[in-house]
A and B are shown apart, each in its own frame.
Chain A
Amino acid sequence: MFSPFITQASSVRAIMFKVLLALVPGIALYIWHFGPAILVSITLASLTALATEAAMLKLRRRPIFPFLSDNSALLTAWLLALSIPPLAPWWLIVVGTMFAISISKHLYGGLGNNPFNPAMVGYAVLIISFPSYMTHWSSPRWLDQLHLTFVEQLQFIFAGQLPSNVTMDALSMATPLDNLKTQLHVGHPLSDILNMPIYSQLAGHGSEMVAIGFVLGGLYLLSNRIISWHLPTSFLVTLFITAGAFHLYDPTHYVEPLFHWFSGAAMLGAFFILTDPVTSPTTTRGKLIFAAGAGFLTYVIRVFGGFPDGVAFATLLMNICVPLIDIYTQPKVFGKKDSK
């Protein structure tokens, strides 16, 4: 036995558990605004994640219990579930989760060795392979649109059956971001678009509240020192500045920065996705650069790119740069700060 002989009690399991806990406010608000179908996604994703992880560990001949109980697979599952429309068929989330866990995590070496954020890889695979399913988002229940009962939702998710008088188009809608993009493309001015019923004070009805829920969770993580302030702050500030610059340039075509903050997965990304320790840089300056790049890319993809939300691809693109960022941002050590 070698020193040190004592250790602080925290563990990977405890850290991941706290992150899961921090997601709860956002999930609660999600259920409140969009109904309980999200719980189905989360449950399916969790079960698939654990099963896939157990199977991969067995194949790789690793001890199963310590890795399965470290909650990292669960976290990937929950993040992916939150990125996917709850009314998607059951196999969508299952396929996405299986891919995320087996290919982007275990084939790279398992916990700690994956260069790409597994949840975002899962999302990317789904949106590229099944784009239409990924656009059937539900509408918030405040809106004057058709709503299914929970049982009918379950029927749709598992059996693909809708009640006889309902069509998918009537039921689902595009996300506020997606809708904004399409409407702008058609030529409507921004002020008209924002008067549409799906938008409220900050951004889309319901989804802005969910974003606030994630902010609360993020603040909990910050106060418990699970994450450091560098990543969320850099991401949000860069997103704000980029959006703000374009908005100032042309207020009729570019929506204000707060809209970007509270739509899509911006808040989820800032506090939960970018802060994944395995795939983000290890140096302080590196973290700032990484998150800033992600913020900028998110805006660019959202406004000029082909996808409604840019957080996933921005994250993945910056994940590629992490090793290089790490090399170039190595800090000076104690006593050598004046030297080259």
Chain B
Amino acid sequence: MLTALIVMSVLAVLLGSVLGFSSIKFRVEGNPLIDKIDAILPQTQCGQCSYPGCKPYATAIAAGEANINRCPPGGEEGIQKLAELLNLDFVPFGDDTAALKPKSVAIIDENTCIGCTLCIQACPVDAISGAAKQMHTIIEAECTGCELCVPPCPVDCIMMVPIQENISTWKSPYPSVSKSMANSTMIVTNVQI
């Protein structure tokens, strides 16, 4: 009995010290967690997560203060990636998260624009070109669709237009489910041979 106890204790101390030593000696330095989370976020900087930008949201997630399901532009894929990174369970979008919208860009109606620069100051990625009393225009390629420019405009001349697919951005579709019986989440009621 005593021998067994001694042997087990010695083993425990030995193995514990091996593990402890390894955790210090073979430590792998990686990116700080905040940067890893920020790399997953879509950088729209829209604030729909109720944080002033993607980096602050990433900081909040890393600190455990924010849930991972607060970012609509990242979509469910983004939540999935965050869940994988942080070893958390997938959480679907909640009722308090802003509605999911298709990816859009803003466009200014030039006939209505009065050149007040309020939208220019609002844009988090400096995607609006213009100056006081000069025509303002949105640089389409840089617009992230965050919609922060829409509320400040005093004449409501900014609209959001969904991005259209074109030949270079067209994606090959997933093989049609109706012909597949290999999809394990599908329920088939009508079979065509």
Contacts and interface: CB of A to CB of B under 8 A. Distances in A.
Interface of A: 2, 61-63, 65-67, 109, 112
Contacts of A109: 184
B6 interface: no
Interface stretch (B20-28, B31-39, B185-193): B185-193
3 shortest interchain CB distances as A-B pairs: A63-B191, A61-B187, A63-B188
A61 B191 contact: no
A66 B181 contact: yes
Contacts of B184: 109
A61 B187 CA distance: 6
Task: Tell me what chain A mostly uses at the interface: helix, strand, loop, or mixed.
Answer: loop
A112 B184 CA distance: 12
Interface string B109-140: 00000000000000000000000000000000
A47 B34 CA distance: 60
A2 B188 CA distance: 23
Contacts of B188: 61-63
Contact of A62 (B172, B175, B181, B193): B181
B66 to A, nearest CB: 37
Contacts of B172: 2
A2 B172 CA distance: 10
Contact of A66 (B175, B187, B193): B193
Nearest to A111: B182
Contacts of B175: 2
Contact of B191 (A2, A66, A112): A66
A4 B172 CA distance: 15
Contact of A65 (B182, B187, B191): B191
B192 to A, nearest CB: 9
A2 B174 CA distance: 11
A66 B182 CA distance: 12
A76 B101 CA distance: 51
A67 B193 CA distance: 11
A258 to B, nearest CB: 44
B82 to A, nearest CB: 28
A63 B187 contact: no
Contacts of A61: 187-188
A2 B193 CA distance: 19
Contacts of A2: 172, 175
15 contacts: A2-B172, A2-B175, A61-B187, A62-B181, A62-B188, A63-B181, A63-B188, A63-B191, A65-B191, A65-B193, A66-B181, A66-B193, A67-B181, A109-B184, A112-B182
A64 to B, nearest CB: 8
Nearest to A1: B176
Contacts of B187: 61
Given A2-B172, A2-B175, A67-B181, 10 more contacts: A61-B187, A61-B188, A62-B181, A63-B181, A63-B191, A65-B193, A66-B191, A66-B193, A109-B184, A112-B182
